[in-house]
Amino acid sequence: MNDIPLSHLLDVAICAAEAAGKHALENKERRTETNEDFAHDVKLVLDVESQKKAETMILSEFPDHGILGEEDETPNHNSAYEWVIDPIDGTMNFSHGFEYWCSSVAVRKNQKVVAGCVYAPDFNTFYTAHIEETAKVNGVPIQVSPTESLQRAMIFTGLSKEMEGSREPHLDMFRMLALNSKKVRINGAAALDLCRVADGTCDGFFETGIYLWDYAAAGLIAEQAGALMATYPRDGVPHGATVLCSNEHLIEGLRAIYTKCI
Ligand code: LIP
């Protein structure tokens, strides 16, 4: 089987992320049309429509590849390639008209992410990378921050959509993060947060209760910008994980917080 060039895979990831993101952006007036409403989350009609836009674009180029998306999946175990799609990451933000949201498309070959794009439509910004190329934002190379201690770091995090009960590891982790770093920010879109680690805007990322489609593309982009990723699968939650990401100086401090709280 001929390998598909990484540049071709990345081009398709960019086009698919743009197709999903542009559809949501151009239909913003419908942003509150809801399929399902949860205690700490919402599923939008535009989530489903935007994922379909990305899928159609991908399958027109690679009809036999598999699809794993937040809204639906079409596995194809006969193909080495699988596309991982979060059509609107930061759904709650999008539904409230808050600009911090994005569309994320990654492609895995034999379960390993090899290329990905995170597109932030309200900022007209494309974060891209493949495994043999440095990460870029709108075509310009990016790299992680040089911050050497958590006490001087700004860390992005989030609170899981599945928080239940009073004692939550998420809240324990948030407290530990807040006490052990200079500043913690909750923005509501993991994929975009990880891209801001990649471009050095923030110094690290830490979130439990997210999913492969939230971090597949942005995790590769962060790694190709010099970040280290630590991913801990969540027992009994398909594709669920806790994700830590930072430059080489901070990752052990983040890992220490995680191990104290689990
Ligand atoms: C969101 C993540 C965010 C997390 C939210 C939600 P979605 O993904 O990007 O970091 O805190 O709970 O999971 O559901 O908007 O695609």
Q: Enumerate domains of the chain plus CATH numbers.
A: 6-141 (3.30.540.10), 150-261 (3.40.190.80)
Q: How close is the Cα of 53 to the center of ligand 1, in Å?
A: 20
Q: Using a 6 Å cutoff on CB, does residue 223 contact ligand 1? A: no
Q: How close is the Cα of 138 to the center of ligand 1, in Å?
A: 24
Residue tagged 């597949």 (tokens): 216
Residue 90 CA to residue 88 CA, distance in Å, equals: 6
pLDDT of 164 reads 63
pTM, 2 dp: 0.96
Confidence grade of residue 165 (pLDDT, cut at 50, 70, 90): low
**8 A C-beta contact, residue 194 and residue 220:** no
Q: Using a 6 Å cutoff on CB, does residue 188 contact ligand 1? A: yes
Q: Give the tokens for residue 183.
A: 């500043």
Q: Using a 6 Å cutoff on CB, does residue 241 contact ligand 1? A: no
pLDDT of 159 reads 87
pLDDT of 232 reads 96
Residue 222 CA to residue 242 CA, distance in Å, equals: 16
| Mean residue pLDDT across the chain | 95
Q: Please identify, by atom number, the ligand 1 atom nearest to the C-alpha of residue 214.
A: 9
Residue 113 CA to residue 231 CA, distance in Å, equals: 13
- Do strands 66-69 and 41-44 pair parallel, antiparallel, or not at all (unpaired)? unpaired
pLDDT digits (tens, 9 = 90+) for 86-137: 999 999 999 999 999 999 999 999 999 999 999 999 999 999 999 999 999 9
Confidence grade of residue 1 (pLDDT, cut at 50, 70, 90): low
Q: Using a 6 Å cutoff on CB, does residue 104 contact ligand 1? A: no
Q: Comparing 73 with 99, which gets the higher pLDDT?
A: 99
- Closest protein CA for atom 16 of ligand 1: 89
Chain mean position to CA 91: 12
Q: Average pLDDT for residues 53-77, to the nearest whole number?
A: 95
Report the side by side order of strands in the sheet with 228-233.
Answer: 183-186, 154-157, 204-211, 240-246, 228-233
Confidence grade of residue 161 (pLDDT, cut at 50, 70, 90): confident
Q: Using a 6 Å cutoff on CB, does residue 71 contact ligand 1? A: no
CB count in 10 Å sphere of residue 232:
15
